A and B are shown apart, each in its own frame.
Chain A
Amino acid sequence: MLRFNKISKNYGPIHALKNISFSIPENSIFGILGANGSGKSTFMKILPGLIYNWTGEIFYKEKYIERSSNQLKKDFGYLIEAPKFYEYLSAKHNLEILARISEVKSNRILEVLDLVDLSDRWEDKVSTFSYGMKQRLGIAQALLHNPSIIILDEPNNGLDPNGINDMTKLIKELKNQGKTICLSTHNLKDVEEVCTDFTIFKKGVNSKATSMEDQLQNSKRWLLNVKEKEEAVSRISDSKYFKILSIFNHNIIIDSSSKSTIGELNKLLNGLHIYKICKESNLIEYFSND
């Protein structure tokens, strides 16, 4: 649906982005994972034209898109970094300003504020809002013109656990509505929990985009929750196919050789009370080694 080809951006002698290339499939939740300073936010700012000087090509629905084209704004909703509003205006006035230039009818304002649970505060000045409320208002403005692609830069930043939970639900809900979401984050859990596809940014270079399904299939990690922990640890340690990576309470994370299967693991743990056994994402390895 959206394809980037050799996107590069320099800040003087610093290469912020070097030949970034990947595609975002339609109706996916695409994660851009990277440490702070890896180039995620710079990349996110290229799409809406906030960053003007860059090289490369963007294709949307297989059509080449001109630099800072309005096409990348009409069909897209953006939340870039922490949302900053006109603090001296109310939430309603802020959204009215944006609705006016997006040619959106004013009744849509209440709809999106309802969606992010801010409709009871719409007359209040943004300066009285907490960080989490501003973040929700940021989501509301991104959804105002009912875009088909939503770009979220670090959407969970600064949110409390409830806020993160609500954000995760909202993102999944948007996907269910048929929208495509691209989010950047430095948090592995965000990607593991919500993303269907991802790429990793490191020092301005990106890894090959991968689906979470493929990633999980290729993972050799297992999460094991077993009643007889010591016995399980002893048996696994003696096995030549499995290696213990970490133990926490009754959870054991193990790494398996390429030949080992769940059958062999079951055979190894025969007679023990296994509460849970499942494939574990090895995103951390991607993140560290890529």
Chain B
Amino acid sequence: MISLFYNELVKIFYKRRTYISFILITLLIPFIIYAIDYGAISLQNKIYGQMQDSFIFIGSIVNGYFSTYLIIAVLISHMPFLSTIVPSEIISGEYSKGTFRIYLTRPISRGYVFISKILVVFLYTTVMMFYFFFYSLLVSYLILGDGELIVFHKGILLLSEDDIIWRFFLSFLFSNFVMIAVASLCLVFSSFSKNSVTPIISTISIVFIGTAISFIPIDIFEIIDPYLFTGYIDIFLLAFHDPLPYDIFVNCFLVSLSWSIIFILVAYYNFTHRDIIE
């Protein structure tokens, strides 16, 4: 099993597409941070708005933490796309390129091959999400410094410096659960498909539909939304609420886990029973 896992790591390490998401994050985030820094005063005025009539604000609310919060809020809805890059190809790529005709003739079970692939997908998703959250935080901190974090939840909530970092960890953790469900969904399509584009398009379409359901205020959608993992893509926002809505975090975990298990089982069955004729 360790050998299989190691093999999958070697395969993705040497592929250029593995690094696309990391390169995008690395290039895009400093750019956004500099843009925030450049427009800090204008941004601050927009946020303060009419509150300036009632409160006296000392210092700037635009700091490293606020910048990270803003970046995550803007980019989190695009992360499902990046999280499909590796899983979309991890099975379908081997079908289409015919490499399974050599790999699966070795004395190994298809079940173990599948497990090694899914472990690598989970590792990739987690590392990518971690990089996204904490690279944003690090670069924001280095460029904009620290300070208190102002968020809008039932009015204005001011979080002190020592009350922030753990919230980013919490938001990373639960956002990662949702992204793992997205990656698992992509793996299902990868196990059925003979190319790597179809799984990406199919997954993103489903995420798009699921997200639309969350935003359309129709009774039936409001009933089913808590049971869809797509409804928790912006769960990270809740990590900055006070008090924390524990019930929603538990729901997020259970819903993401349940969907991930369903997707993995479907992909597993298909992978282990499929004829490899390509």
A residues neighboring B (CB under 8 Å): 42, 45, 48-53, 68, 70, 73-74, 76, 78, 80-89, 93, 96-98, 100-102, 138, 141, 145
Contacts and interface: CB of A to CB of B under 8 A. Distances in A.
B25 to A, nearest CB: 23
B98 A49 contact: no
Contact of A98 (B15, B97, B106): B106
30 contacts: A45-B275, A45-B277, A48-B104, A48-B105, A49-B104, A50-B101, A51-B275, A51-B276, A52-B274, A68-B109, A68-B110, A70-B108, A70-B109, A73-B108, A76-B105, A78-B102, A80-B102, A80-B105, A81-B98, A81-B101, A82-B98, A86-B14, A86-B99, A87-B97, A88-B15, A100-B3, A100-B7, A101-B108, A102-B107, A138-B102
A138 B98 CA distance: 13
A84 B97 contact: yes
Contacts of A73: 105-108
Interface string B255-278: 000000000000000001111110
Given A45-B277, A50-B275, A84-B101, 18 more contacts: A49-B104, A49-B110, A50-B101, A53-B275, A68-B110, A76-B105, A78-B102, A78-B105, A81-B98, A84-B99, A84-B102, A85-B102, A97-B10, A100-B7, A101-B4, A101-B7, A101-B103, A138-B102
A97 B14 CA distance: 13
A51 B14 CA distance: 29
A81 B97 CA distance: 13
Interface in B18-60: none
A176 to B, nearest CB: 24
Given A93-B10, A97-B10, A50 B100 contact: yes
> Taking each of B16, B100, B275, which has the highest tally of chain A beta carbons within 10 Å of its own beta carbon?
B275
Contacts, number: 90
Contacts of A68: 109-110
Interface string B89-103: 000000001111111
Contacts of B11: 86, 89, 97
B277 A50 contact: yes
B6 interface: yes
Interface residues of B, number: 29
B111 to A, nearest CB: 10
Interface in B75-122: 97-110
B99 A100 contact: no
Contacts of A102: 106-107
A148 to B, nearest CB: 13
Contacts of A78: 102, 105
A50 B274 CA distance: 8
Contacts of A98: 102-103, 106
B277 to A, nearest CB: 7
B68 to A, nearest CB: 35
B97 A51 contact: no
B107 A74 contact: yes
Contacts of B106: 73, 98, 101-102, 145
A42 B275 CA distance: 10
